[in-house]
Amino acid sequence: MEVLPHSITLLIFSYLPYKFVRTTASLVCKAWRQLAYDKSLINYATEKEFSEINVEDASAEIVNYFLQAVKWRPSLFHRIDLSGAKTTWETFHKIAHNCTELIILNMARIEGKVSHPDYPLIQAVKLVELNLSETMIDDCLFVFITERLPRLGILNVSKCYNLTDLAVEKASLPSLRFLALGECKVSVDALLCAIDSRYWHSNSVWPGERNCFSDSIAPALLLLLHCT
């Protein structure tokens, strides 16, 4: 198929469902894999096909192609699972910056250390579930992320050994329902203090309404106690 011009191959691909091109045709050879993420095809993909994109167990090359799709049509991504892919913190920042309609993001096992230049603006403010377990996220990035995700209700940072008490003391998690901190260096006392502080000062919880406390924040405490 190498003698077939790319323009002809793209024309043929344009008559096929994009999901088939991306998941099946792209496995034929490297050239087809690259064409599967061509801008001309992505521009005509349906919302459903984008919502189902999953590059789990993908190589760094596939992740780069995937990021091109994110850049070209970011508003169509609602759920992304890169837990088994070769990703870096730069990958995370690009997705968090571009995907304004993202609801669920799984990026467990991001490779490499966190660098501390100016973090790019996080625009995925609709995110409600985030998995950064088994990464080298530190206190500074943890606080930065939580301050910019007001709807975040489920956060998994299990086995993130760089996190300390400072992370939960400084973090802003007004919508938190479930926090996984298994094997982290965060103490129960620090989490208790953070919960107590948010209970009395949160705009969404009034002093004396103990039922609000139990509904909104207690699950996070119970999970930490279970994992510690």
Distance CA 216, CA 96 (A): 25
pLDDT in tens, 65-98: 888 888 888 887 888 888 888 889 989 988 998 8
pTM listed for this prediction: 0.76
Report CA 207 to chain centroid distance, whole Å.
Answer: 34
Structural domains of the chain, ranges and CATH numbers in brackets: 1-45 (1.20.1280), 47-227 (3.80.10.10)
pLDDT at res. 52: 55
Reported as half-sphere exposure (CB side, CA atoms, 13 A), residue 10 has a value of 13
Reported as half-sphere exposure (CB side, CA atoms, 13 A), residue 16 has a value of 15
For every residue of 88-141, which 3-state class applies, written as one string?
Answer: CHHHHHHHHHHCCCCCEEECCCCCCCCCCCCCCCCCCCCCCEEECCCCCCCHHH
Computed over every residue of the chain, the mean pLDDT equals 77
Residue with token string 């198929």:
1
If one compares 119 and 38, the residue with the highest pLDDT of the two is: 38
pLDDT at res. 202: 44
pLDDT at res. 29: 83
pLDDT at res. 136: 94
Mean pLDDT score, 38-61: 70
Distance CA 104, CA 59 (A): 21
Residue with token string 């975040």:
152
pLDDT at res. 135: 95
Backbone angles phi, psi at 32, to 5 degrees: -70, -35
pLDDT in tens, 165-213: 998 888 877 778 888 888 888 887 887 777 666 543 444 333 333 333 3
- Does residue 108 register a pLDDT over 90? yes
